[in-house]
Structure 1
């Protein structure tokens, strides 16, 4: 029977889209097929559904996910009564539910619905659908007493109508006393109460949303600039010196279009990073001349300049009521919302109360969810050498919002901060000299990022001495080491070696050699590893396979191939993949001969000798390794053939081409490369890595660090990086 969750409010302004997104995240971690149903909808686009469909790759259309429009429902209720309306909606719900393992139901929004007793209707629908109910109450600008009363009233209202309430959420709570009072109330209710604070980054509209709301013309600005959040407004009317003192970070400057001095001044201040603004909005339909606009484009490339015909006063009045919205076009806000939800909701407890039976299939999304969850269980610290790269900064924001790990970004501090501001990214960066108290055991404590400049860091001298000592046998002097260690890859590696970070991820703009050479020289291999190798986690539609080695060793011999197989099996087991090793070749069993096949055969025997506990088969062809029907013909009775999970390629040429072919042709998600065999975790990125690839790799690195050092001293993370 489909298990459904009915998220509903008791009025407007509760920001429940954050809760709907968070619950969808929990459901997709457990099951493969999750559907969405909105019983009653307004005509036109549905931004929340489009967000859920895009983010969670839903196959539903908007029409498939909705019951009927409010006007149709009001007419049906007026003509035939409430029972007929409920009957029609129940039938449409079951038409959706039969195709899914779980369904998220989006309750009514109390906005111009023309329906009386809306709360009662939501409760009845939840009961008829067989849904558990998650009420959301608005805490915005409410006193402690009001928040407590709202939570108590919502709980009573739904339980008295026969609903199974699994928890109650107070959202957008600004006052710390109100939050504490609501949590205290939760100890007196039979179900948990979760309290989410107001998050300014969610309520802040983007420049694009402002342009759409005001029907503004975009004179300047690229996609990145238009995605910036607007957290304040500055009305430009004063002379330039006074005006500049009023500028605030992420503010939108609103000024008459004939004030070219204020436009140039604001953009020059942004270019200098003092402070970075969101953009400029010109009023009265006026605009500066072509020379001024050309100068503006050079001063702050990508920064939006908009124009509206109305006056400054009326424009400011229209801006005052605008709030940000979660939509498919604002993926950053979705990450912020999920981070907020996961920080303030006991997701393990709520998942248990949802009672969703976990699917036996493992989809790419479920695997990625698992990485994020596991990385958070033991807080670690990862260094990212490419601190000014856009994809790295965007990934860093996701990692911090999702509370995955603490970060150090390498680069000149002013350049990193300015790049983040230009991209509209709020990392709340700490300087290297700023003390940051971190308690890795407290998951509710937000993860932090700091910036370290290898050129100026006090660590440079310490690292130069260490590197010169480690490489003295290669003729490296202190003077040479002084220059080498300011390279970001070497500096980051030395941070890991010295315990100032638990792992490193690089390679978005650096070659594989530049990323891993310092690790070979400084961190070196584990005592039980002959070589360093790599694997990719290949997330197919319904399972995860491990491919090795597809990134490091060009032509391993039999000894090295056996080492790669054993390392890959260990890595697979660490990440929940039961290892069944296939040593791949162009022939299966004894059907072929030749040097290449003999190498694989010898490597297979070495694996059996060294690790008799592992299931291994080889030489074996790819189809016999993964397809049961082929395996039944070529290797009947094998414990590996047809069900291999760890596929070891005979050389880099075969492995690299195969993983890319499967990735592109079969639509698989390739997570990696994940390096194995090093004493401490360092991982490489493809230079074509997407933001999600970087997030996944950092999460894997954090998990590797947890495994390598399970008794992690919390005090280490309370050091200053420049100590």
Structure 2
């Protein structure tokens, strides 16, 4: 078994919470050796209960070839599952008008991604991790069709958890939380509306508190302007998004429009945004579009030598997460831990 352990204090906290929760995580991509090796590790380090999809004899042979031991793991064959008829009827109901017949519904569930998503939808699993051997579109299609977004959330967004070594920012963060940020949306929505940007900020605040156990979320709605220093329709979108977010969730610390230095540096924040509850404290950096979000995460990763976990999905009613097709075994294990913790706290609640 490959040796996998959390690399930093942030992921140590995620692993600890996952161990407490013992959630059921379905891994449908059992055609991929990385999935089978990761499944053994998740079980051995006690991050949750793994469910593999496929024919048991075939999977045991594949696991042997991959050097993995899956003897203790639950295996369900979607083609012979006891609940196949129940899933078929429910899927047909959910996709009424989109799926022509029960036979077509059953055929769709031969796809392990669809079957695994139905398990999550019907509470036979708490979360799903896939994407090592399927495209993002393939993973998200059943998630959007079956699970859909959480109540009150208009869209699914993607964030990166960024851990920057030897970082002194944000200035006003506790020492143990300096250098840890969520960047959103950095992998999903190219040009969110003001309403969508507000929801991205809200879900990111909940993510950093509930999954990564930050003492408090501080979301900076980023722009090239701080509090009216420039004028442009792009800035107006950020200002409107801030207003909407504060109206929807006045309990959260969300402020904008803020430049990056105002968000992170106390002396700059005091000068440019006096009275802001977020300036100098921001641990959730909310980008106005995917260009800025994706560019910034990659620059931080390589120039700042940061650890970047993601893209991680937020906003679905139940946790399903995509992986890069270049994902390592370690990536699969860590994403499974994050999904397990997300399954512990629905949106709108705090543990």
**TM-score normalised according to structure 1 size:** 0.44
> Which residue number in structure 1 is paired with residue 172 of structure 2?
none
The alpha carbon displacement at 1:661 in A equals 2.2
Runs of 4+ in 1 over 4 A off after TM superposition: none
1:557 aligns to 2:193 (yes or no)? yes
The counterpart of 1:592, out of the listed 211, 216, 230, is: 230
The counterpart of 1:638, out of the listed 271, 276, 292, is: 276
Q: What whole-Å deviation, never above 9, does each CA across 1:672-694 have from its counterpart, x for those lacking one?
A: 33322222111111222222221
Secondary structure, counterpart of 2:330 in structure 1 = helix
1:500 aligns to 2:124 (yes or no)? yes
Q: In the superposition, relative to structure 1, how do residues 671 and 457 fare at CA in structure 2: closer, same or farther (>3 Å)?
A: same
> Which residue number in structure 2 is paired with residue 681 of structure 1?
319
The counterpart of 2:22, out of the listed 374, 379, 389, is: 379
CA contact (8 A) 1:388 1:415 kept: no
Secondary structure, counterpart of 1:469 in structure 2 = helix
Secondary structure, counterpart of 2:345 in structure 1 = helix
Q: Equivalents in 1 of 2:70, 2:57: separation in Å?
A: 14
> Which residue number in structure 1 is paired with residue 213 of structure 2?
576
Which is higher, the Rg of structure 1 or of structure 2? 1
Q: In the superposition, relative to structure 1, how do residues 390 and 664 fare at CA in structure 2: closer, same or farther (>3 Å)?
A: farther
> Which residue number in structure 2 is paired with residue 410 of structure 1?
53
Q: Which one scores higher on RCO, CA 8 angstroms, separation ≥ 6?
A: 2
The alpha carbon displacement at 1:475 in A equals 4.3
Secondary structure, counterpart of 1:388 in structure 2 = coil
Q: What whole-Å deviation, never above 9, does each CA across 1:466-495 have from its counterpart, x for those lacking one?
A: 111111122432121121111111010001
1:543 aligns to 2:179 (yes or no)? yes
Q: Equivalents in 1 of 2:143, 2:260: separation in Å?
A: 32
The counterpart of 1:423, out of the listed 66, 69, 82, is: 66
Q: What whole-Å deviation, never above 9, does each CA across 1:402-440 have from its counterpart, x for those lacking one?
A: 111111112333332222111221222xxxxxxxxxxxx
Q: CA RMSD in A?
A: 2.1
> Which residue number in structure 2 is paired with residue 512 of structure 1?
136
CA contact (8 A) 1:506 1:683 kept: yes
CA contact (8 A) 1:364 1:540 kept: no
CA contact (8 A) 1:375 1:700 kept: yes
The count of aligned residue pairs is 333
> Which residue number in structure 1 is paired with residue 252 of structure 2?
614
The alpha carbon displacement at 1:364 in A equals 5.6
Q: Equivalents in 2 of 1:411, 1:665: separation in Å?
A: 42
Q: In the superposition, relative to structure 1, how do residues 458 and 613 fare at CA in structure 2: closer, same or farther (>3 Å)?
A: closer
Gaps of 5+ in 2: 166-177
Q: Equivalents in 1 of 2:42, 2:218: separation in Å?
A: 32
The counterpart of 1:367, out of the listed 2, 10, 14, is: 10
> Which residue number in structure 1 is paired with residue 169 of structure 2?
none
CA contact (8 A) 1:533 1:552 kept: yes
The alpha carbon displacement at 1:460 in A equals 2.9
> Which residue number in structure 1 is paired with residue 175 of structure 2?
none
Secondary structure, counterpart of 2:110 in structure 1 = coil
CA contact (8 A) 1:623 1:630 kept: yes
Q: Equivalents in 1 of 2:156, 2:149: separation in Å?
A: 7
Q: In the superposition, relative to structure 1, how do residues 599 and 537 fare at CA in structure 2: closer, same or farther (>3 Å)?
A: same
CA contact (8 A) 1:460 1:486 kept: no
The alpha carbon displacement at 1:663 in A equals 1.8
Q: Equivalents in 2 of 1:586, 1:528: separation in Å?
A: 29
Q: How does 1:323-362 map to 2 (within 5 A)?
A: 332=2, 334=3
CA contact (8 A) 1:588 1:634 kept: yes
CA contact (8 A) 2:242 2:255 kept: yes
The alpha carbon displacement at 1:455 in A equals 3.0
Q: What whole-Å deviation, never above 9, does each CA across 1:93-146 have from its counterpart, x for those lacking one?
A: xxxxxxxxxxxxxxxxxxxxxxxxxxxxxxxxxxxxxxxxxxxxxxxxxxxxxx
Q: What whole-Å deviation, never above 9, does each CA across 1:645-695 have from its counterpart, x for those lacking one?
A: 111111122212221221222221222333222221111112222222211
CA contact (8 A) 2:37 2:67 kept: no
1:521 aligns to 2:164 (yes or no)? no
1:391 aligns to 2:34 (yes or no)? yes
Q: What whole-Å deviation, never above 9, does each CA across 1:12-61 have from its counterpart, x for those lacking one?
A: xxxxxxxxxxxxxxxxxxxxxxxxxxxxxxxxxxxxxxxxxxxxxxxxxx
Q: Equivalents in 1 of 2:100, 2:282: separation in Å?
A: 46
Q: Equivalents in 1 of 2:188, 2:55: separation in Å?
A: 31
Q: Equivalents in 1 of 2:222, 2:19: separation in Å?
A: 35
The alpha carbon displacement at 1:702 in A equals 1.0
Q: Equivalents in 2 of 1:503, 1:620: separation in Å?
A: 35
